[in-house]
Amino acid sequence: MLDFRKHFSDAFDRSIEELSRLLRVVRIQQNDPTIPLVGRDSLPGGVIYIVRYGEDGENILFQRHMGILMVNLGQTIPSDVRDDIDEREFHEIMIRYSSWIRGDPFFAAQDQYQRGNRARWIEIDFQGAVVAFYTAIEMFCNGLLGLCQWESGGTREELIGWLEKEGFDKRLRDRFHGFLGGNWDARSTSSPLQPLDDTARVRHRVVHAAYEPTQEEVDNAALAFSELSEFAKDRLIASKYSFPRTTMLLLGKSGLERKNAWSRRFERLAEVLVNEDDWLQTYTAWRQP
């Protein structure tokens, strides 16, 4: 087998990595697990083309058709045809991309969730799906805990102690209630997080006993992530004036409006936060000095 690696430059590799990052953002934004990622070994030969149209003086940035001609045994075939991204969605994608680059701790969890959906619906890899969904849950909770600790004035050293010395179940039970209230004990019959306890057991069997989950168990793992994130959002809304930055990062104005939690008072506070120095980068520097 020929080794083509020596023919790829570092600049080419960086370009492919950046393209894959952007595709991950689009996959999250559109909630579409069918969008594939690309890597050096999976990128097929081809020629990208763009057709622009419009009269002089028009804004033609989003009036286009874009595709790629793939080279396959001397034949050219069109690429996967998808709807164009309009200006509003493009703007939202770039905001999400910017947040990720600046250190958004929730992005990794959303990315893992989409990996789980791809394993669940496209690859029919139930083991991989359960592991990805459970990993998304842990990433989400660790990110939320870090932001709450930082925004409340706590120390990084205390946070690291929790993450390194306490198991996930203990952190969930003991740490989140103090910040956000509510019942975070997944083993409690009165907790909305009970599906998480079932998912943890299935994930343990997958990792340690090569267990093959059922479709129902995979669906429950996806549900566990969704219910956890919605519970966390509700608890944040109840404490939004204590954690306004975390609230805006996780929900934003549109998320708060959907939950009827956007008020004139909070809008004034959000305007102040917009004029702050980049607090997300400040958090990232605090979290990873």
pLDDT tens digits for range 120-132: 999 999 999 999 9
- pLDDT for the residue 219: 96
Instruction: Select from 124, 136, 132, 135 the least CA-distant residue to 215.
Output: 124
The CA angle 261-186-248, to the nearest 5 degrees, is: 25
- pLDDT for the residue 53: 52
Q: How many CB atoms lie within 10 A of CB 84?
A: 11
Instruction: With a cut of 70, list the residues of the chain below it in pLDDT.
Output: 1-9, 40-83, 289
> Strand ranges (DSSP E) for the chain?
46-52, 64-72, 75-77
* Residues in Cβ contact with 214 at an 8 Å cutoff, skipping those fewer than 6 apart: 126
- In contact, 129 and 119? CB cutoff 8 Å: yes
Q: How many residues does the chain have?
A: 289
* Residues in Cβ contact with 220 at an 8 Å cutoff, skipping those fewer than 6 apart: 195, 198, 199, 202
Half-sphere exposure of 112 (CA within 13 A, CB side): 21
Determine the Cα–Cα distance for residues 89 and 86; give it in Å rounded to an integer: 6
- pLDDT for the residue 289: 67
- For the chain, give every domain's residue range: 5-89, 103-287
- Extract the tokens encoding 258: 């959907």
- pLDDT for the residue 51: 53
- In contact, 132 and 111? CB cutoff 8 Å: no
Determine the Cα–Cα distance for residues 205 and 207; give it in Å rounded to an integer: 6
* pTM of the predicted structure, to 2 decimals: 0.83
- pLDDT for the residue 268: 95
- pLDDT for the residue 206: 98
Query: 259 to each of 239, 244, 254, 263, how far by Cα in Å?
Result: 14, 16, 9, 11
- pLDDT for the residue 7: 57
